[in-house]
Amino acid sequence: MTRVLITGGAGFIGSHAADALLAAGYEVRLLDELSPQVHGPQRERPTYLDREAELVVGDVTDALAVERALRGTDMVLHLASAVGVGQSMYDIDSYVRTNELGTAILLQALSKRPVERLVVASSMSIYGEGLCRGVDHAELAPQERSLDQLRSGVWELRDGAGRSLDPVPTPETKQPSLSSIYALNKYAQERMCLIIGKAYGIPTVALRFFNVFGPRQALSNPYTGVLAIFAARLLNGRRPLVFEDGLQRRDFVHVKDVARACRMALETDRTNDVFNVGSGQSRTIVSVAKDLARVMGRADIAPEITGKYRAGDIRHCFADITKSRALLGFEPRVAFEDGLTELAGYLADQIADDQAEKAAEELSRRGLVA
């Protein structure tokens, strides 16, 4: 039976990927340090983990722990990562250590003992601003918004002549534009895996995840996905904090669809390739905050539009999944409304320590919120 090692496997996406792989007949081993920011101070095995999944508690930056976890492993799904654009802009050494050094240590071990396949989690954050269309209908990669523009509260993207640009789905061919330490980390993870995979004959695929949501997301981590952050606020009777004007657009994809994409990437014959994993749809952040409040029965709690900008944030980015459909066979199955309803059911039994305001204050203190 094929054994898959999932680094970061006790987390949100990793646990769902473990479920999908176990259901498909794989053996699954998880390597996870059980970070207190994600799993709480007790650092205990999460109750949601399938009993059939073997858990090895260890840090991906610990070479001995990585080598032990790799023993008897046939494939690797590398998900271990410190996540969050905001925190990456001040906790720089920690992000580089976990994301880049951790990946390097994993690859060092794989250079000594190659596996049958390697799949690495990348991120939509590497695109920076998503693809746009100008007034002449030509597609282009927009420039980052200037600090003067942001301080003036002019949020939308513009061309060199000051004309508005329309966002369009972003394909894998768009050149990276790295606007945060986290984005830089994810691109480094992706490229390191593809380079070493090619050099050592390990078929490797990178999956660029968009905004993943669903049950098991860490509600008390203020740097996790935006829906979890909003949920923590709403569970405590507080208004979700929305930056800029709330009309920035993102692509929300359900975690079960992401887990299925991970399995497909392990099973595909594609190699040294990258794929977007999203829903192929876009939604404004403010509409998502309102939709979540509605399904949670908190429609009376309106989002708070802060009119502020965070360093490293981008305006619009949503996925073109044409390539993933054609070459990976990936098709999203969970409708956004159905996913929200499932999430609301999960949240009904949860207690969340809302850290959003504390995180915003920390960013502001460091001059990372304008």
Enumerate the β-bridge partners of residue 5: 29, 76
Residues annotated catalytic, as ranges: 182
Element (H, E) at 370: none
Residues 6 or more apart whose CB falls under 8 angstroms from that of 292 comprise 227, 230, 231, 234, 240, 340, 343, 344
The pairing of strands 54-57 and 27-32 is parallel
If you write DSSP's letter for every residue of 81-146 in order, what string do you get?
----HHHHTTSHHHHIIIIIIHHHHHHHHHHHS--SEEEEEEEGGGG-SPPEE-TTS-EE-PPPPP
Q: How many residues does the chain have?
A: 370
The pairing of strands 117-123 and 283-284 is unpaired
Go through 70-95 and write b for each residue having 16 or more CB atoms within 10 A of its CB, e for each that does not: beebebbbbbbbbbbbbbbbbbeeeb
- Rounded-to-integer distance, Cα 305 and Cα 290, Å: 12
Distances (CA, A) of 277 to 68, 242, 255: 30, 24, 10
- In one-letter notation, the amino acid at residue 287 is S
Enumerate the β-bridge partners of residue 133: 139, 166
